Amino acid sequence: MTKQEALFKYLLRLGDQHLILGHRLSEQSSKGPFLEEDIACSNIALDLIGNANHLLQYAAEVENKNRTADDLAFLRSEREFYNSLLAEQPNGDFAFVMTKHFFADVFDFYLYTELQKSADETLASIAAKALKEITYHLRHTSKWMIRLGDGTDESKMRAQNAINELYRFTSELFEMDEVDEVLLKEKIAVDSSSIQNSWFAKVKEVFAEAGLNLPEEVYMQTGSRKGQHTEHLGFLLAEMQHLHRAFPGAQW
Amino acid sequence: MKSINDIWKILERIPDPEIPVISVVELGIIRALRYEGPKLIITITPTYSGCPAMSAISIDINNHMHENDIKDFQIETVYQPAWTTDWMSKEAKEKLRVYGIAPPNEQIKHKLNVLTGDHDEEVNCPHCGSNNTILTSQFGSTACKALYKCKECLEPFDYFKCI
């Protein structure tokens, strides 16, 4: 694998993660528990999709095959997407949405803190920009985890159920393959094993305050690095890509 | 060919699409102007990654260039250094306050802690000036604003987030 191929795939992985997280969260618009929270979720979705746009634009540039960010977002099939299984999970109740984003935000916070130092200047600058937003997202979801865990019996139960359901998708976030191997040598990618301890420490710190627990002995799911997804991604893409495929080249 | 100074003056007339009391120059979106031969290069940087105002701003810049007979130009986007509210002038911040939006605080030490919630920021009400205010939501009507409420005059207001 050449450096160019590895960088292209790495950018797809980062871009797809935020595109799918953002798209899923946008499904939540107008369904928030109250107005301010609805606005918050829509804003976060917008940040994520905006950042995905920057990453996929750069991916298209690196690939150098005359494709655009839109082509990459709307004309690839399920097996060509590299977002995590966590990102594509359907929304469920509000506690589920917050827990999912909390796991993803803690990961992103440490990942993007390191990515800012990437030897690839464009990637480093996109990361520096995104980190400011991710920090806000993490603050938001951390506070929600505490509020839900420390709230009523009902909210605590729902948050704990969400954790029990979603935890199995978290170890995949730290997986590394040939792409990482090539890019680590060039000091472009982040060694995700190096951020795993920080991730656990932050998650446990927030859960301790919230009175929530990480489950033990969970079989961890995997596959997205190879483009193998849960059944939910196909349905998401069908909706997200429908317009662009029905009207090729459509632009706002 | 117009001088760089003249171009800055043209751009100063373009209001921010969401907050029309300040210009895109005052907001710090226009990072640099230069000529490459006869071609004018306008470098801009986004405030927030997904800010929908950015495409509106590009269209406005296009229109103002055409109105001023500048045809050979190109808009370039850079992400580094990442946009910060510190680039807003004191005058621009005062304009925001008068408009009813609490202006962003100066960058504070340990700002990261403010963002991750270890301690809270002090925000003054743009209406009565009181610092007895409370955060309603970190996310407001646009990506760059948070919602606050004043406990003195009881008015809700927008705070331009410090990033």
Contact B139 A135 (CB under 8 A): no
DSSP codes, B45-106: --SSTT-THHHHHHHHHHHHHHHTT--SEEEEE--SSPP-GGGS-HHHHHHHHHHTEEPPPP
Are the CB atoms for B159 and B19 separated by under 8 Å? no
Gap between the Cα atoms of A224 and A212, Å rounded: 28
Contact A53 B82 (CB under 8 A): no
Beta strand pairing status for B30-36 and B133-137? unpaired
Which ipTM did the prediction report?
0.77
**What is the nearest CA distance from B158 to chain A, expressed in angstroms?**
12
Closest CA to A247 of A70, A78, A54: A70
Give the pLDDT score at A137.
94
What type of residue sits at position B47? T
B66-99 tens-digit pLDDT:
999 999 999 998 888 888 888 888 889 999 999 9
Record the pTM: 0.90
B128-157 tens-digit pLDDT:
999 999 988 888 888 888 899 999 999 999
Sheet holding B30-36, edge to edge: B30-36, B39-44, B73-77
Contact A37 B137 (CB under 8 A): yes
Tokens in use for B52? 């929908």
Contacts of B51 in chain A (CB under 8 A): 46, 50
Tokens in use for A45? 């979705």
Contact A125 B46 (CB under 8 A): no
Distances (CA, A) of B79 to A28, B29, B44, B104: 29, 11, 9, 21
CATH of region B4-83: 3.30.300.130
String of b and e for A188-227 (b: at least 16 CB within 10 Å)?
A: bbbebeebbebbeebbeebbeebebeeeeeeeebeebbeb
Distances (CA, A) of B73 to B28, B55, B59: 20, 17, 13
Q: Which of A141-155, B94-108, B118-132 bottoms out in mean pLDDT, i.e. has the lowest? A: B118-132
Within chain A, how many helices (H) and strands (E) appear? 10, 0
What is the pLDDT confidence band of residue A190, given thresholds at 50, 70 and 90?
A: very high
Burial class (CB in 10 A: 0-12, 13-18, 19+), B63: exposed
What is the pLDDT confidence band of residue A173, given thresholds at 50, 70 and 90?
A: very high
Best to test chain A binding among B44, B79, B135, B162 (most A CBs inside 10 Å): B79
Domain map (residue ranges) of chain A: 3-246
B116 in reach of chain A (CB within 8 A): yes
Give the pLDDT score at B113.
54
**What is the nearest CA distance from A219 to chain B, expressed in angstroms?**
31
B80 in reach of chain A (CB within 8 A): yes
Tokens in use for A180? 């990482």
A105 in reach of chain B (CB within 8 A): no
Mean pLDDT for A52-80 is 96
Could you count the other beta carbons within 10 Å of the beta carbon of residue A178?
Answer: 12
Give the pLDDT score at B114.
54
Closest CA to A58 of A117, A119, A123: A123
Residue ranges of B 134-153 with Cβ closer than 8 A to chain A: 136-141, 143, 147
Are the CB atoms for A163 and A214 separated by under 8 Å? yes
B112 pLDDT exceeds 80?
Answer: no
Give the pLDDT score at B110.
45
Give the pLDDT score at B143.
81
The CATH architecture assigned to A3-246 reads Up-down Bundle (1.20)
Of residues B46, B138, B147, nearest to A136 (C-beta): B138
Contacts of A135 in chain B (CB under 8 A): 112, 115-116
What type of residue sits at position B25? V
String of b and e for B9-27 (b: at least 16 CB within 10 Å)?
A: ebbeebbbbbbeebbbbbb
Gap between the Cα atoms of B96 and B156, Å rounded: 15
Domain map (residue ranges) of chain B: 4-83, 92-160
A132 in reach of chain B (CB within 8 A): yes
Give the pLDDT score at B154.
94
Contact A129 B143 (CB under 8 A): no
More confident residue, A182 or B137: A182
Of residues B116, B136, B137, nearest to A135 (C-beta): B116
